[in-house]
Amino acid sequence: MNPLILKILAQRVALSLLLLFLVSILIFLGTQILPGDVAQSILGRSATPQALENLRQELGLNQPAHTRYLNWLGGVLRGDLGTSLTNGRDIAQAIGQRLGNTLFLAGCAAIIAVPLAIFLGLISVLYRNRWPDKLISGLSLAAISVPEFLIGYVLMFYFGVMLGWAPSVSMVTEGMPFLARLQAIALPVAVLVLVVLAHMMRMTRAAILNVMQSAYIETAELKGLGMFRIIWRHAFPNAIAPVVNVVMLNLAYLVVGVVVVEVVFVYPGMGQFLVDHVAKRDVPVVQACGLIFASVYILLNMVADIVAIIANPRLRHPK
Quick: pLDDT tens for 123-179: 887 788 788 888 888 887 787 788 888 888 888 888 888 887 888 888 777 777 888
Residue 84 lies in a domain: no
Contacts of 292 (CB under 8 A, 6+ apart): 95, 99, 270
Lowest-pLDDT choice from 12-26, 80-94, 280-294: 80-94
Quote the CA–CA distance of 201 and 135 in Å, as a whole number.
13
pLDDT at 214 over 80: no
CB-based contact 56:62 (threshold 8 Å): yes
| Predicted TM-score of the model (pTM) | 0.77
pLDDT at 267 over 80: yes
- Count structural domains, the chain: 1
Residue 283 lies in a domain: no
Could you give the percent of the chain with pLDDT greater than 70? 87
Residue 132 lies in a domain: yes
Residue 126 lies in a domain: yes
Residue 223 lies in a domain: yes
Quote the CA–CA distance of 232 and 121 in Å, as a whole number.
11
Please give the pLDDT value at position 186: 86
The domain of 255 spans 94-271
Residue 148 lies in a domain: yes
Q: How confident is the model at residue 38 (pLDDT cuts 50, 70, 90)?
A: low
CATH code of the domain containing 191: 1.10.3720.10
Residue 173 lies in a domain: yes
Residue 261 lies in a domain: yes
